[in-house]
Structure 1
């Protein structure tokens, strides 16, 4: 029976003769060198981890900032890091090489890991994480929704109250336009540079920043809806 492409690749991996996978491991390992933020999904507890290229018998060295143990107690067991699986798992491990937590990349530069009975943790490039946190802070507060002619139709407040799944609570003010009141968003988040408002029914409205520092609903329309930060 002829070997399938999958079986050929599997045999090469087992024989240590698959250069594509080796390159993937090498690339990921190089990309991981540097400072990372280890955090809960809502970033209420954070820890800075510096992944190093210095080798150990079981992987590579790392440094944890002194406050890590208090913020995330399980980090007291972390003694090093390594690449596992087929080169797609970043492992923070104990002194014997066992996993304290394993991370998989969910989008470029963002890794997600699960600890049983504790929940999900995020590992993200430190500079990117702090940039996102700054952007989030700038979003918190009172906003107005206006039509393209400048007519205000609704007020709303974006909060940093955790609503789960990287979402935060949003509250509408009284006397909103019927269309906005019917939509009735309950949570919001920042996602790839967009403000996403979501209702309890699962509906969502997306807003993108335009050249005038306004947030315009997309896709655009002849009667645009714009979000303006209240002074």
Structure 2
């Protein structure tokens, strides 16, 4: 082996070692971030289960605890015996043999998605964040009034917690709405990244952002804004 080849080989081996170390650090960081309480749920959160991921090692993998109602809410959880990190970014809930019951990957901070063939997508979300979202959702349920910037009421709406598919819920317009709102005719709503979304059957979406706890303003803003106020 020539000196030049030897140097190149040594550099390559050092690069590989560096990549392996980086992968190990990524996996170690993910493991540390995952330790704690999580909500495992269907996408619309109609069925939920609290999972506590721990750092202790067991013969099956890393230790976890499922709340007593998990198997009734999500039957596949009865097969979960442990958890582990696979590769760089996969959080695996696994059976006693180490086989995957469901694999999750992060889609945004604190929220992971996993697919079970024949069943659909499930969400693993930080428990505190999930309960905060649920509380926010509960606070949104009820009667609202859509008003112009001058305070003139132009439509009444009722936001419900009745599922309408996906992450959406039913919304109902009250009689005598402004023509523009009646033509839009929203049938569904949801909270999404801090915004209130109203959606029509045609696929049109109106977005509102909170000014404060009781007032939401349509975005992008305009000279004659639309504002959502609680039950007026």
Cα deviation for residue 201 of structure 1 reads: 1.7
What TM-score, normalized to structure 1? 0.90
2:71 corresponding residue in structure 1: 69
Cα deviation for residue 19 of structure 1 reads: 2.5
Cα deviation for residue 97 of structure 1 reads: 0.3
Cα deviation for residue 58 of structure 1 reads: 4.6
Do residues 89 (structure 1) and 107 (structure 2) align? Answer: no
Q: Distance in 2 between matches of 1:25 and 1:195?
A: 35
Do residues 106 (structure 1) and 116 (structure 2) align? Answer: no
2:45 corresponding residue in structure 1: 43
Residue deviations 1:94-134 (CA, integer Å, cap 9, x gap): 00000111111111111111112222111100000000000
Q: Distance in 1 between matches of 2:228 and 2:36?
A: 37
Do residues 139 (structure 1) and 175 (structure 2) align? Answer: no
SS in 2 for 1:133: helix
SS in 1 for 2:164: strand
Residue deviations 1:162-217 (CA, integer Å, cap 9, x gap): 12221111111111111111111111110111101111222111111114731111
Q: Out of 27, 30, 35, which is 2:29 matched to?
A: 27
Q: Distance in 2 between matches of 1:213 and 1:42?
A: 24
Residue deviations 1:62-104 (CA, integer Å, cap 9, x gap): 00111111111111110000111x3211110000000111111
What TM-score, normalized to structure 2? 0.89
Q: Distance in 2 between matches of 1:72 and 1:211?
A: 37
Structure 1 residues without counterparts, runs of 5 or longer: 1-7
Cα deviation for residue 41 of structure 1 reads: 1.4
Cα deviation for residue 57 of structure 1 reads: 3.8
Q: Distance in 1 between matches of 2:89 and 2:210?
A: 34
Q: Distance in 1 between matches of 2:214 and 2:230?
A: 9
Cα deviation for residue 17 of structure 1 reads: 4.5
Q: Distance in 1 between matches of 2:195 and 2:29?
A: 30
1:3 corresponding residue in structure 2: none
Structure 2 residues without counterparts, runs of 5 or longer: 1-11
Cα deviation for residue 225 of structure 1 reads: 0.5
Aligned residues: 220
Q: Distance in 1 between matches of 2:36 and 2:126?
A: 8
Q: Distance in 2 between matches of 1:58 and 1:130?
A: 30
Q: Distance in 1 between matches of 2:101 and 2:213?
A: 47
What is the RMSD of the two structures over their aligned residues, measured on CA atoms?
1.8
Q: Distance in 2 between matches of 1:204 and 1:48?
A: 33
Q: Distance in 1 between matches of 2:112 and 2:217?
A: 30
1:176 corresponding residue in structure 2: 177
